[in-house]
Structures are given as structure tokens and as C-alpha cells.
Amino acid sequence: MLTQAKLLFLFLLIFCSHDYHVSKCEITFNSEKARLEICQFMFLDDLEYAFEHSGYDTQHLCTELEKESADSILTKYIANKMLIKVGSDTISLNLLGKEISNDLSAVNVYLYSDSITTTSSFDFESSILLELFDDQNNMVYWTSGSGKKSYFVLNSDKTNIQLPYE
């Protein structure tokens, strides 16, 4: 857990805005387990603001003050802002866990899908934090089942992409 000094630093960091708005989503198709594995990186102050914008209280993510409802609200937010489909089937995501970044400014959220049997591409849509910031960019790093890597940037002009299976 966080010490008082770290909590003070986190408090100061949250109330000092940053000049850019970006998130990073790393998506990997784990062919051994036939599932998607996702790490979604977001700045804590932006995410807490998104919770407040959605009508929730501050959740104090990754601190000793974190509310019991935090994981549930986090999961709902991501489910409303991130959509993955194969054909007409929506892929549901499960929360594995979360951890604060080394500099205490962001959170990494770890998600995974149930087993997927497909050899086609995935449709991926992300509108994470786009409701808040006109300059929001969501970077997507994709690693296919064959290990091929791709990079995309999503924003208010483009919120969806196709992720190739191969």
C-alpha cells in the first residue's frame, strides 16, 4: 500500500494537470490460451474525472482510500468505452487486476477474454476518455496470434480499427 508521502505526491499530481491526454492499450492474442490479453494504461486524474463525469464519486484508485466499488466502476467504464467483436459476436472482458505506475500518475488495468475460436480479424473500438478531452489520443498496440505487431492511434475522428488475426 501507499505511504503518506506517496499519497501526498499522488494528491498533488492529481490536482496538477498534464499537457497531453493519451491512453495506451496493449492487446495480445495468446494463441496457447486462445484468448485476448489486454493492458489498458490511463492517467489516474483523467480516469477519476471520467468517473465523476459519469456520476460516480472519486474512487481513489490504487490508494489506501480506494472504495470497495472501484473495481466494479472501473469494469463498467471500460465495458462502456471498449468494444471487441468477432463478426457479430461481442467479446466480453474480465478484470484480472490493476496496478499503479511507478511514478504514481497512472494505472495499468489488466483484462482478458474467455476462450475465442476464430481465424478472422477482430473489430476493436475504443472511446476511452474521448468524452472528456478534444485532444485525447488512444494508442493501440496489437500483437496477433502469429506474433506480428501493429500500432494504431484512435481519437474522436477514428474510434475503431480491425485487428488482423494473423
DSSP conformation letters of 3-20: -HHHHHHHHHHHTS--S-
Asked whether the beta carbons of 38 and 75 are under 8 A apart, the reply is no
Q: Strands 160-163 and 122-126, how do they pair? A: antiparallel
How far apart, in whole angstroms, are the C-alpha atoms of residue 11 and residue 52? 16
The parent domain of residue 30 ranges over 4-163
Unique residue bearing C-alpha cell 466502476: 73
Residue 11 reports pLDDT greater than 60: no
Asked whether the beta carbons of 74 and 56 are under 8 A apart, the reply is no
Residue 14 reports pLDDT greater than 60: no
The pTM score is 0.86
For residue 97, the tally of other CB atoms under 10 A from its CB is 9
**How many distinct structural domains can be found in the chain?**
1
Please enumerate in sequence order all residues whose Cβ is within 8 A of that of 16, keeping only pairs 6 or more positions apart, or say none: none
How far apart, in whole angstroms, are the C-alpha atoms of residue 154 and residue 136? 9
Give 12's pLDDT tier (boundaries 50, 70, 90). Answer: very low
Residue 146 reports pLDDT greater than 90: no
- Where is pLDDT greater, at 119 or 49? 49
How far apart, in whole angstroms, are the C-alpha atoms of residue 100 and residue 98? 7
